[in-house]
């Protein structure tokens, strides 16, 4: 085969391999998710592995395998503590919801519901023959019925092995990604044309450096926000403050919009807790306290935490980050919003490496 023919066929072969890779990713999407989660865990654990390597215990230098094992066991320990902490809180909240006395609730707020119904009828939101009170009773009843199934998670785990299998796969891959941190790099270079291998190698290195800083910053932000919100709510006396603070802090992984979602969820959970206790007059007070605490925590987050995490870790302008999050949400919902910044960071690194001479590209990559 002549060299000219080979030069024509090589791009076609590369295109075919790329198409096969996309087909594989689509067909085995669950496996791709496992690989991404394992990659995320290995990125979080890699600094600890590097820190442990070379340390001495009783004059014996810690080997790479031992440092990986210690890191891996530490990650498992944190995950187990997380599950043991959050599952009882969720079950407790479900029990709270299921204990709401619907008859007493509707009786106490009957006059308020009547006024709401009259308002909706007046502005043609509902038909005069329809009853907002009956509709609300049906919706609340169905919601409480769902909440009574507190063993849904346990039954799913016990009846199917998919959760255990997925967990095993993620942990298995995570360990070997930590053990051989060049494994993903070598896999990426295998499907990269030879003339672009140096560029790809640099892209992978720069992306990993930025993502390590970003993910560690996110974990720190989530931990601080959980502590602030849960502590403040507990001091004020809001029911189920720990779960509300936990969920609020956890939703901070969604930049900008996460705190709003966390506040709405927190107010909802606080209201349900007060209703279950029969403290109908305290419902709006608890909602107000949750709103104030989340507002104060969000001010701290926006002025202190986020500038340190987003602008410095991924080196992007706040407007870029905001637009990336909106686009990610439009494409893939909440999951897209969570992965918007890491994805945008990688795209910026790729664009900078290949250095397109388009003005907008120069502007977007000046900070990377």
Q: Which two tokens mark 143?
A: 């919601």
334 in a structural domain:
yes
Measuring CA to CA, how many Å separate 216 from each of 84, 209, 212, 222? Answer: 23, 11, 6, 10
Same-domain check for residues 261 and 348: yes
4 in a structural domain:
no
The answer to whether 295 and 350 are in contact (CB under 8 A) is: no
Q: How far is residue 46's CA from residue 29's CA, in Å, rounded to a whole number? A: 25
Same-domain check for residues 209 and 169: no
| pLDDT for the residue 354 | 67
Q: Find where tokens 């969604």 sit.
A: 254
Same-domain check for residues 181 and 229: no
Residue 330, domain extent: 195-368
The answer to whether 229 and 249 are in contact (CB under 8 A) is: yes
Note the pLDDT tens digit of each residue in 89-106. Answer: 777 777 777 777 777 766
| pLDDT for the residue 367 | 53
Note the pLDDT tens digit of each residue in 199-221. Answer: 778 877 777 777 888 888 888 88
Same-domain check for residues 351 and 261: yes
Same-domain check for residues 255 and 126: no
Same-domain check for residues 128 and 145: yes
Note the pLDDT tens digit of each residue in 10-64. Answer: 666 666 766 776 777 677 777 877 888 888 888 888 888 888 887 777 777 888 8
pTM: 0.70
- Domain count along the chain: 2
Same-domain check for residues 209 and 134: no
9 in a structural domain:
no
Last residue of a domain, one of 191, 217, 239: 191
171 in a structural domain:
yes
The answer to whether 102 and 137 are in contact (CB under 8 A) is: yes
19 in a structural domain:
no
Same-domain check for residues 106 and 170: yes
18 in a structural domain:
no
Same-domain check for residues 202 and 344: yes
DSSP conformation class of 316: -
Same-domain check for residues 218 and 323: yes
- Which stretches of the chain score pLDDT less than 50? 1, 149-154, 156-157, 159-160, 357-361, 365
| pLDDT for the residue 77 | 93
Give the SS3 label for residue 61.
strand
Last residue of a domain, one of 162, 191, 220: 191
182 in a structural domain:
yes
Same-domain check for residues 39 and 178: yes
Alpha helix stretches (DSSP H) within the chain: 3-27, 29-52, 64-98, 102-108, 110-122, 132-147, 152-159, 162-179, 183-190, 197-236, 241-250, 257-277, 283-300, 306, 312-313, 318-338, 340-354, 359-364
226 in a structural domain:
yes
| pLDDT for the residue 358 | 46
Same-domain check for residues 167 and 316: no
| pLDDT for the residue 289 | 92
Measuring CA to CA, how many Å separate 361 from each of 37, 88, 197, 295, 324? Answer: 30, 49, 22, 36, 15
Closest CA to 269 of 236, 235, 241, 298: 241
């Amino acid at each position: 085969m002549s060299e000219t023919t080979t030069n024509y066929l090589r791009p076609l072969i590369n295109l075919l391999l790329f198409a096969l890779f996309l087909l594989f990713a689509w067909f085995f999407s669950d496996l791709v998710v496992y690989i991404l989660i394992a990659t995320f865990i290995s990125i979080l654990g890699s600094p600890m592995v590097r820190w442990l390597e070379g340390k001495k215990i009783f004059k014996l230098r810690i080997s790479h395998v031992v440092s990986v094992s210690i890191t891996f066991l530490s990650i498992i320990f944190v995950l187990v503590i997380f599950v043991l902490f959050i599952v009882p809180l969720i079950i407790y909240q479900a029990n709270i919801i299921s204990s709401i006395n619907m008859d007493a609730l509707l009786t106490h707020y009957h006059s308020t519901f009547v006024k709401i119904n009259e308002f909706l009828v007046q502005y043609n939101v509902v038909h005069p023959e329809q009853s907002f009170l009956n509709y609300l009773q049906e919706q609340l009843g169905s919601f409480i019925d769902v909440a009574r199934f507190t063993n849904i998670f346990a039954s799913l785990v016990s009846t199917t092995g998919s959760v255990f299998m997925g967990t095993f796969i993620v942990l298995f891959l995570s360990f070997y990604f930590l053990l051989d941190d060049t494994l993903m790099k070598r896999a990426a270079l295998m499907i990269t044309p030879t003339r672009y291998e140096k560029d790809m190698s640099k892209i992978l290195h720069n992306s990993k450096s930025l993502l390590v800083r970003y993910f560690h910053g996110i974990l720190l932000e989530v931990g601080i926000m959980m502590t602030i919100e849960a502590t403040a709510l507990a001091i004020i006396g809001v029911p189920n403050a720990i779960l509300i603070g936990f969920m609020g802090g956890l939703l901070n992984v969604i930049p900008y919009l996460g705190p709003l979602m966390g506040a709405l969820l927190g107010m909802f959970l606080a209201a349900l807790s007060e209703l279950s206790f029969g403290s109908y007059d305290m419902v709006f007070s608890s909602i107000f306290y949750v709103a104030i605490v989340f507002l104060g925590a969000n001010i701290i987050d926006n002025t202190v935490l986020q500038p340190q995490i987003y602008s410095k870790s991924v080196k992007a302008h706040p407007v870029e980050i905001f637009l990336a999050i909106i686009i990610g949400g439009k494409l893939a919902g909440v999951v897209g919003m969570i992965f918007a910044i890491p994805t945008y960071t990688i795209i910026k690194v790729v664009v900078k490496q290949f250095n397109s001479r388009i003005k907008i590209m120069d502007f977007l990559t000046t900070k990377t």
